[in-house]
Amino acid sequence: MAIMAMENGADKIRINPGNIGGTDKIKAVVDVARERNIPIRVGVNSGSLEKDLIEKYGGVTAEGIVESALDKVKIIEDLGYDNLVVSIKSSDVMMCVKAHELIAKQTNHPLHVGITESGTIFSGSIKSSIGLGLILNQGIGDTIRVSLTDDPVREIEAAKLILKTLGLRKGGIEVVSCPTCGRTRINLIDLAGKVEKMVSGYDLDLKLAVMGCVVNGPGEAKEADLGIAGGDGCGVLIKHGEIIKKVPEEELLDTLRYELDNWNE
């Protein structure tokens, strides 16, 4: 499963219903793709669906999106070229899911999956997680793109986490953290955010727990390889559920960093 950060690179040619023109123009594109031996990406976005398909299906629908994509696929196949990637997208998550379920039964071409125009990092990550989760968990999809109104680096981070959560990608540090409660005596929300940011730079495959208290923290962190649990102005370092040492709150982050820098398990 690959993550596509850049959608329109020189390694493929992109055809969308809104910009293809007639069959002659498609043939011109196919000729260039054949000459350079690069795939053509057939992309349909619900926002640019052809009028006749909107009328046929009584609005923008999953069926219309699929028919639009498969029409172009057939034109290109009839021109004797089958090095294709199909990308059908909608900002309507459930429409996107349905469209992928439909098209997966009708073509064997690779599918590039994503929820388009999904929004900011908060709403976009939720929509992308639900949409991609439902689609990928059915074994549908070959490459993915998470579209966020944010730094593209965050798109990659979100995409990696979606794949890791689905068990489709190994590696990277998974951070688990508690929701805080009346027992929390440290600024756990701030600390968990800093930990998450810090660990993104490590190429380690482990689970790290950031817990709010020493009453339940070590127990809840038992499944993690490494963890910290807050006390009152201090915290403890935990390895495989065992408390290793106590450190002042302001040193918890550095203590974790040291452990990660010297991790050799």
Residue nearest to ligand SF4 (CB): 212
Residue 157 or 220: the one with the smaller Cβ distance to ligand SF4 is: 220
Nearer to ligand SF4, 178 or 226 (CB): 178
Nearer to ligand SF4, 157 or 225 (CB): 225
Judged by beta carbon, residue 217 or residue 235, the one nearer ligand SF4 is: 217
User: From the list 139, 167, 179, 201, which residue makes contact with ligand SF4 (rule: CB under 6 A)?
Assistant: 179
Rule CB under 6 A: say whether 211 interacts with ligand SF4: yes
- When the beta carbons of 184 and 255 are compared against ligand SF4, the nearer one is 184
Answer yes or no whether residue 199 interacts with ligand SF4 by CB under 6 A: no
Query: 258 is written with which tokens?
Result: 């040291």
Q: Site residues for ligand SF4, window 219-258 (CB under 6 A)?
A: 220
Using rule CB under 6 A, residue 184 touches ligand SF4: yes
**Taking the complex as a whole, how short is the minimal distance between the CB of residue 230 and ligand SF4, in angstroms?**
7
| 187 contributes a contact to ligand SF4 by CB under 6 A | no
On the 0-12 / 13-18 / 19+ scale of CB atoms within 10 A, 118 is: buried
How many beta carbons lie within 10 A of that of residue 206, not counting itself?
16
Kindly state the tokens that stand for 105. 């039964």
Instruction: Give the integer Cα–Cα distance in Å for 236 and 220.
Output: 14
Interface pick for ligand SF4 out of 8, 181, 246, 258 (rule CB under 6 A): 181
Residue 166: burial class (beta carbons within 10 Å; 0-12, 13-18, 19+) = middle
Among positions 217, 227, 231, 235, the unique one binding ligand SF4 when judged by CB under 6 A: 217
Cβ distance to ligand SF4 smaller for residue 64 or 235 = 235
Query: Is the distance from CB of 202 to CB of 183 less than 8 angstroms?
Result: no
Sheet (strand 173-177) strand order: 173-177, 206-211, 226-230, 234-239, 242-248
CB 41, min distance to ligand SF4, A: 46
- Cα distances (Å, whole numbers) of residue 149 to 75, 123, 157, 197: 34, 10, 14, 19
Phi and psi torsions of 233, nearest 5°:
75, 10
